[in-house]
């Protein structure tokens, strides 16, 4: 315990144990709050003097105090408090010039702890001196507040019991609010509180100030280690036995001559990240009372007033110098400490102090803007700005908004709880939302408010609307997490669930199925489907992605099957198409018929006729695709699914097909039976179709190469298609199919009389293809890992059936995550590494990509960076996420390699 004195950290005092001035107290040892406060103090900002007991010391102190070695503990505290006393010229418990203290928890990595205990040192003995210094009323108020917070925090009295005692006092004395209580009444209240402790508490209120400090420390340590607190930490993914450091800070009152009070301030909007001071301030208050709703606090600035609402009072008007200073401090903190903060401040007779400081909470959009602007003003590096953004945050920018030219028929105004705009039919239950989604109809889920049981419905709906609830209501928080546009607390709307009617204030009624639009970005609810526009990448978002493009090594392509998908992908700066699944073209309206004719063909001639029709259609699609991609690389995969997927299933549909094709129903049934497989995922699919029906692959090769010639001529940019063969396992498959494609190329060359250039690659989707990676690399131009199938095959898990057991596997910790969402780096990843090493040994510069669903998952992208792949490919809307994830992976790799690399 003696050695512990050396471990104590200091804020705003001379002894600087625990951290250099410029780096502040180490956050792992002294917790977040102490870290930031110490850095603010080192900048010369008005932070009260304090010492910080690191987690280990707090534990030892608490054990000593509980375990009969209280003397040692007191000796340590006396030495630390002695330094504060020396610096302040006051003494704890001194009847002449008493020092008052507050005790604040400071956990590493955050984590909720007990509230601060304020005004430690107030006691019968010190009352007269405080009365002389601050007036009788203030002194009595400080005293009763300490009894209240110590009673609740350290002696186990229910906080509510004090509130009721206060309420009774106000009622008995006929007084409206606690600020109107006089000194005598406050003294009576203190006596009532003491009586409460005597009756209900687990001990007496200590009149000895040192005993108060020790008791408060022991109580906070106990609360932190209580099973409930440990479980709460576990639920939040924090370490169960994380240490709790404690800050013992000189008290700044918040009570006394005006302006005195407490508040919180932030310089940036939590929602947008825009600069502008905001917050709340309550006169004659301490701690977080401004947020507790006991009395109506002031806004900080006029800019925060709602334009249409009644004027609210502001601190800016009451004390303009204070808000200007807060804004200045906020700027300084950003510049020097490189983040946007929320500041807990106190005014004592106009003098401003920062009592607590923490990085401000922010919505994804705000996080991007703050990081980019901090980097632009040089407060952090661009790399740091990129590393701070969870790539999933970008989703927020990737939602449609209302077309500015669209007419808005506003039926209600609520809170802009989650950005984006969505239109759909009204549904009033999660089940109805799911049913609509299953039928492919966009839905807006409208509820009074939401709870955990509504999450699946929120997931299924395009947008969410609640009649009640604020910006941090369940609906708002969950919708933001899910990326669903959401309007909360829509005023004037009345929801009658029993009748299934949503009534607007103007008398209009909307029933289940009526179409409405929620504009989550500005809180409007509109009648009908308002036209939306696709997101534009501008401002901070665009800048962040420009930096990401400059920082990344990995290429980012898109999985796009149509020219429309390709246009979206280009809008998001995809560098090419990494996977065009050609089968999707056959499901377009009017396409399925020739496909079915081809499948039903009895002889080569009728098959050729059907294929010729398909070829014309496919060629048209490819021309559009190449045209859109204007010379950028395009990987086209030849047919992959088993043929039975193109046949109808139900009896009615089979009969309809028989009629349309003029083929006996019995024949169709027989063909469907011939094609049926026990395990189609591992059956006749992928290149096995090409081997069995080379004419299908030949048709596709023709269509691709003819389209490439046409598009090349039209755009003036030569198109070199990259033809990809799926699901290979033996190199002989590649050789046979390369010949089929080569013959098609010869025919196209002969017909076109010009250059027909292309490359051939394979999808590595089977374990055997990984092991034979060298053979495949030697015989092809590129490899692309199809990690959906590869995960299925390496695990032996059916990708279509995992939903039945994956949730159990993940919740029981059998797998740490679903390997179909984030690559299983140690298993599937090892197979990929083997394939890559063997491929590179055979052909060092070979292009290697990944085109499974993992292409925009940050952890999987990180794997691809380390494995030295050429590109990742993902769905068009996720391209920006992959760009940032690739940049982060490159930055991480550079940092790991060290400064000289």
Applying CB under 6 A, which residues contact ligand PEP? 579, 581, 640, 765, 786-789, 851-852
Which residue lies nearer to ligand PEP by CB, 581 or 613? 581
- Write down the least CB distance from residue 635 to ligand PEP, Å: 11
Q: Which is nearer to Mg ion, 521 or 766 (CB)?
A: 766
Considering CB distances under 5 to 8 angstroms, the limit depending on partner class, which of Mg ion, ligand PEP, none binds residue 338?
none
Give the DSSP letter of residue 204. Answer: P
Least Cβ distance, residue 539 to Mg ion (angstroms): 38
Select 469 or 786, whichever has its Cβ closest to ligand PEP: 786
Alpha-carbon span 810 to 792, nearest angstrom? 16
**Of 219-227, 482-490, 781-789, 855-863: span binding Mg ion (CB under 5 A):** 781-789
Look up 687 and say whether it is catalytic.
no
* Interface stretch with Mg ion, choices 88-96, 162-170, 190-198, 785-793 (CB under 5 A): 785-793
Q: Is 880 among the residues that bind Mg ion (CB under 5 A)?
A: no
Interface segment toward Mg ion; rule CB under 5 A; list 4-12, 113-121, 303-311, 789-797: 789-797
Q: Does 786 bind Mg ion (CB under 5 A)?
A: yes
Residue pair 823/863 in contact by the 8 Å Cβ criterion: yes
Q: Which helix (H) or strand (E) holds 793?
A: helix 787-795
CA distances from 516 to 422, 449, 490, 531 (A): 9, 18, 13, 11
Q: How far is the CB of 776 from ligand PEP (least distance, A)?
A: 16
Nearest distance from residue 846's CB to Mg ion, in Å? 20
**Block residue for tokens 């939401």:** 450
CB nearer to ligand PEP: pick between 18 and 726 = 726
> Which span sits near Mg ion by CB under 5 A: 38-46, 462-470, 770-778, 783-791?
783-791
Residues 712-771 that bind Mg ion (CB under 5 A): 765
| Residue placing its CB nearer to ligand PEP in the complex, 279 or 786 | 786
Q: How far is CA 357 from CA 32, 255, 333, 373, 685, in A?
A: 9, 21, 10, 20, 60
789 binds Mg ion (CB under 5 A): yes
Residues 554 and 543: their CA atoms lie apart, in Å, by 19
Residue 434 site contact among ligand PEP, Mg ion, none (CB < 5 to 8 Å, cut-off depends on kind): none
Least distance from C-beta 407 to ligand PEP, angstroms? Answer: 42
Name the minimum Å distance from CB 724 to ligand PEP.
Answer: 10
* 297: partner contacted, choices ligand PEP, Mg ion, none (Cβ within 5-8 A by kind): none
- Catalytic-labelled residue, pool 459, 474, 584, 817: 474
| Whole-angstrom distance, CA of residue 433 vs CA of residue 883 | 33
Among residues 581 and 894, whose Cβ is nearest to ligand PEP?
581
**CB of 806: closest distance to Mg ion in angstroms?**
19
E-state strands within 366-459:
401-402, 410-418, 421-427, 443-447
User: How far is the C-alpha of 123 from the C-alpha of 213, rounded, in Å?
Assistant: 12
Catalytic option among 13, 486, 580, 851: 851
CA 575, 579, 583, 584 torsion-angle sign: negative
How many angstroms from the chain centroid is the CA of residue 704?
41
Token pair recorded at residue 831: 């197979």
Q: Which of 63, 583 has the CB closer to ligand PEP?
A: 583
Binding partner of 395, given ligand PEP, Mg ion, none, CB within 5-8 angstroms per partner class: none
Q: Are strands 722-725 and 759-764 parallel, antiparallel or unpaired?
A: parallel
Is 851 considered catalytic here? yes
Distance CA 224, CA 113 (A): 6
Strands (E), 548-648: 555-559, 577-581, 634-637
Rounded-to-integer distance, Cα 325 and Cα 331, Å: 10
By C-beta, is 495 or 794 nearer to ligand PEP?
A: 794
561 binds Mg ion (CB under 5 A): no
9 binds, among ligand PEP, Mg ion, none (CB under 5 to 8 A by kind): none
Distance of alpha carbon 624 from alpha carbon 160, whole angstroms:
70
Q: Give least dist CB 578 to Mg ion, A.
A: 13
Per partner kind, with CB cut-offs from 5 to 8 A, the member of ligand PEP, Mg ion, none near residue 579 is ligand PEP
Q: Which two tokens stand for residue 260?
A: 């005195």
Which of helix, strand or coil describes residue 402? strand
Query: Which among 398, 406, 422 is positioned nearest to 538, based on CA atoms?
Result: 398
- 237 touches 257 (CB < 8 A): no
How far apart, in Å, are the Cα atoms of 685 and each of 243, 249, 598, 679, 725? 56, 70, 16, 11, 11
**Catalytically active residues, by annotation:** 474, 851
Where do contacts with Mg ion occur on this chain (CB under 5 A)? 765, 786, 789
């Amino acid at each position: 315990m003696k050695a512990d004195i050396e471990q104590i950290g200091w804020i705003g005092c001379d002894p600087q144990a625990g951290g250099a001035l410029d780096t502040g107290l180490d956050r792992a040892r002294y917790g977040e709050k102490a870290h930031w406060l110490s850095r603010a103090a080192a900048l010369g900002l008005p932070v009260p003097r304090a010492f910080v007991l690191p987690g280990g010391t707090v534990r030892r102190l608490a054990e000593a105090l509980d375990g009969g070695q209280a003397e040692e503990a007191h000796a340590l505290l006396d030495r630390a408090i002695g330094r504060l006393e020396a610096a302040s010229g006051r003494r704890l418990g001194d009847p002449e010039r008493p020092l008052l203290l507050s005790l604040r928890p400071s956990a590493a990595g955050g984590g909720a702890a007990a509230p601060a205990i304020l005004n430690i040192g107030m006691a019968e003995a010190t009352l007269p001196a405080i009365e002389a210094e601050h007036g009788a009323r203030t002194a009595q108020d400080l005293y009763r507040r300490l009894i209240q917070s110590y009673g609740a925090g350290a002696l186990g009295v229910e906080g509510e019991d004090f509130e009721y005692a206060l309420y009774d006092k106000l009622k008995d004395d006929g007084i409206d609010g606690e600020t109107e209580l006089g000194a005598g009444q406050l003294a009576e209240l203190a006596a009532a509180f003491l009586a409460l402790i005597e009756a209900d508490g687990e001990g007496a209120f200590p009149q000895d100030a040192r005993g108060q400090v020790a008791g408060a420390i022991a109580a906070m340590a106990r609360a932190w280690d209580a099973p409930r607190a440990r479980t709460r930490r576990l639920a939040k993914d924090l370490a169960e036995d994380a240490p709790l450091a404690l800050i013992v800070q000189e008290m700044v009152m918040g009570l006394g001559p005006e302006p005195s009070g407490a508040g919180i301030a932030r310089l940036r909007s939590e929602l947008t990240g825009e600069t502008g001071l905001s917050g709340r301030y309550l006169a004659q208050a301490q701690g977080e009372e401004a947020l507790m709703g006991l009395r109506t606090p002031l806004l900080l600035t006029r800019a925060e007033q709602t334009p249409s609402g009644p004027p609210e009072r502001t601190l800016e008007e009451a004390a303009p110098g204070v808000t200007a200073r807060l804004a200045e401090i906020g700027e300084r903190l950003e510049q020097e400490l490189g983040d946007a903060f929320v500041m807990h401040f106190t005014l004592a007779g106009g003098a401003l102090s920062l009592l607590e400081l923490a990085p401000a909470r922010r919505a994804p959009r705000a996080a991007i803007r703050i990081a980019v602007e901090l980097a632009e003003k040089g407060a952090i590096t661009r790399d740091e700005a990129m590393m701070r953004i969870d790539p999933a945050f970008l989703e927020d920018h990737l939602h449609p908004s209302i077309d500015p030219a669209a007419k808005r028929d506003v039926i209600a105004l609520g809170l802009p709880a989650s950005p984006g705009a969505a239109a759909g039919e009204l549904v009033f239950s999660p089940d109805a939302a799911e049913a609509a989604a299953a039928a492919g109809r966009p839905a807006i889920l409208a509820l009074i408010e939401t709870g955990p049981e509504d999450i699946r419905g929120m997931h299924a709906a395009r947008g969410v609307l609640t009649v009640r609830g604020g910006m941090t209501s369940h609906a708002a928080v969950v919708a933001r997490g899910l990326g669903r546009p959401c309007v909360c607390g829509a005023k004037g709307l009345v929801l009658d669930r029993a009748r299934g009617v949503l009534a607007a204030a103007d008398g209009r009624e909307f029933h289940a199925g009526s179409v409405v639009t929620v504009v989550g970005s500005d809180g409007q609810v509109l009648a009908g489907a308002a036209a939306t526009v696709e997101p534009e990448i501008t401002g901070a978002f665009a800048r962040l992605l420009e930096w990401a493009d400059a920082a990344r090594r990995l290429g980012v392509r898109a999985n796009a099957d149509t020219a429309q998908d390709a246009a979206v992908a280009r809008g998001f700066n995809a560098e090419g198409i990494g996977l065009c699944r050609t089968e999707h073209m056959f499901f377009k309206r009017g396409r399925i018929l020739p496909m079915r004719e081809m499948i039903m063909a009895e002889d080569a001639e009728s098959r050729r006729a059907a294929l010729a029709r398909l070829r014309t259609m496919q060629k048209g699609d490819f021309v559009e695709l190449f045209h859109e991609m204007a010379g950028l690389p395009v990987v086209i995969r030849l047919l992959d699914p088993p043929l039975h997927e193109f046949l109808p299933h139900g009896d009615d549909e089979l009969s309809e097909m028989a009629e349309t094709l003029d083929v006996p129903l019995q024949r169709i049934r027989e063909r469907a039976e011939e094609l049926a497989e026990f395990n189609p995922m591992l059956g006749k699919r992928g290149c096995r179709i090409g081997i069995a029906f080379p004419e299908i692959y030949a048709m596709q090769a023709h269509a691709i190469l003819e389209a490439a010639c046409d598009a090349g001529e039209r755009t003036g940019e030569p198109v070199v298609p990259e033809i990809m063969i799926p699901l290979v396992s033996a190199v002989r498959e590649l050789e046979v199919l390369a010949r089929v494609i080569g013959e098609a190329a010869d025919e196209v060359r002969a017909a076109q009389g010009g250059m027909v250039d292309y490359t051939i690659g394979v999808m590595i989707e089977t374990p055997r293809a990984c092991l034979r990676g060298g053979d495949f690399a030697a015989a092809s131009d590129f490899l692309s890992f199809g990690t959906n199938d590869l995960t299925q095959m390496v695990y032996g898990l059916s990708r279509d059936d995992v939903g039945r057991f994956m949730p159990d596997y993940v919740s029981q910790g059998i797998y740490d995550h679903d390997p179909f969402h984030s690559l299983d780096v140690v298993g599937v990843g090892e197979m990929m590494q083997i394939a890559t090493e063997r491929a590179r040994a055979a052909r060092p510069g070979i292009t290697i990509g990944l085109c499974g669903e993992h292409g925009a998952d940050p952890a999987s992208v990180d794997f691809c960076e380390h494995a030295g792949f050429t590109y990742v490919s993902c769905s068009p809307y996720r391209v920006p996420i992959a760009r940032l994830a690739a940049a982060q992976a490159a930055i991480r790799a550079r940092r790991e390699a060290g400064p000289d690399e």
